[in-house]
Structure 1
């Protein structure tokens, strides 16, 4: 996939990812979201953007290191998100069930998008 196409897909993904919580707020089910949900959303989505951008840069510089760069940046993202979640839980007094639901929703869907981009790029590399 071309970088422009990937970033367009990422923008669409972020829009769809944000639509469900926005609809929950709009329909009066805001109790299913954390008070600081959008902080969590921006942090995890921003981390995903950094991962995708850095992997694309590595792919442009040295395509042979694409998979290794993906794994390294994903591990950094995982550790960063765990540290952020720990600070989030320790500093704010929140409902643990709601936090787990919100964090899982954001983290796993963003990670799924990263894997989707990885698989699309690896498939395109094999066709060349």
Structure 2
């Protein structure tokens, strides 16, 4: 496998890049929806951001459940890989949204 711990244990789950790509697409969709809400402004922007984050979380959990039911994988390695990818993309999304909000506040 691509990453090996040296003990014969793979650090990446099978079809890692499918999960990576799926979460990337999901994050981009949530970001686009949040950005649309921010541009509309007002109270709708808060609802759009929170709604996008919650929908992303629920779809991610459903994606993880389907993956675990279809593919036999070490559960601990899966949780570590999945959570690290999820938080990586969530951190990126929050950073970009905060940057957009800061730029919007400077222009007003």
TM-score relative to the length of structure 2: 0.84
Q: 1:37 aligns with which of 13, 16, 28?
A: 16
- Residue 38 (structure 2) aligns with: 59
* Pairing of 1:1-128 with structure 2 (within 5 A): 25=2, 28-29=3-4, 31-60=10-39, 62-64=40-42, 65-127=44-106, 128=108
Spell out structure 1 runs of 4+ moving beyond 4 A: none
Structure 1 position 114, deviation (Å): 1.3
Q: Is the 8 A contact 2:27 2:90 kept in 1?
A: yes
Please tell me whether Structure 1 or Structure 2 has the larger radius of gyration of its CA atoms. Answer: 2
Structure number with the higher helix fraction is 1
Structure 1 position 125, deviation (Å): 2.2
Structure 1 position 118, deviation (Å): 2.0
Distance 1:111 1:33 in 2: 20
TM-score relative to the length of structure 1: 0.72
Higher relative contact order (CA 8 A, sep 6+): 1
Across the aligned residues of Structure 1 and Structure 2, the Cα RMSD in angstroms comes to 1.8
Structure 1: 5+ residue stretches without partners: 1-23
Structure 2: 5+ residue stretches without partners: none
